[in-house]
Amino acid sequence: MKFTFAHNNFNVLNLEKSLDFYKTALQLTEARRREAPDGSFTLVFLSDGQMPHQLELTWLRDRQEPYNLGDNEFHLALMVDDFAGAHALHEKMGCICYENKAMGIYFINDPDDYWIEIVPKR
């Protein structure tokens, strides 16, 4: 028996805003979409175009209040080949929420305040 990662899920309040963020900030693109026949939810799977692992964004029609992320101690991490260029882009976007210069990493937050760690390719 062997398990492999398939995807992670983030629930979002504004699907279009989130899609724009992930496309602009991380160059993730829509790989597939599933919409409920009654319109109650939409699932969008985002891909980096290289790895099989995907990020699933879930939009629920009836959800109005922000999601409780607790202490926000969980996160995704993405590796980037141009760390300085990514940092400049994210700084311009105003989405850097935490930096650890000693470790050479930083975090950005998406429109729903999920944290994404950015690490340089080593």
Tell me if residue 91 is catalytic.
no
Q: What integer is the mean pLDDT of 73-93? A: 95
Q: Is residue 68 part of a domain?
A: no
Residue/partner pairs of 90-94 with CB below 8 Å, 24 or more apart: 90/25, 90/118, 93/24, 93/25
Instruction: Decide if 25 is inside a domain.
Output: yes
Report the pLDDT averaged over residues 19-46. 98
In a domain, 38, yes or no: yes
Residue 2 is assigned to a structural domain of this protein = no
The range of the structural domain enclosing residue 110 comes to 7-61+74-120
Exposed / middle / buried, residue 26 (Cβ in 10 Å: 0-12, 13-18, 19+): buried
CATH number, residue 50: 3.10.180.10
Q: Is residue 97 part of a domain?
A: yes
Report yes or no on 1 lying in a domain: no
Instruction: For the chain, give the percent of residues with pLDDT over 90.
Output: 93
Beta bridge partners of residue 10, listed in sequence order: 57
Q: CB–CB of 107/75 below 8 Å?
A: yes
What DSSP character marks residue 62?
A: T
Q: Give residue 3's pLDDT.
A: 84
Q: Which of 4-8, 21-25, 31-35, 91-95 has the lowest mean pLDDT?
A: 4-8
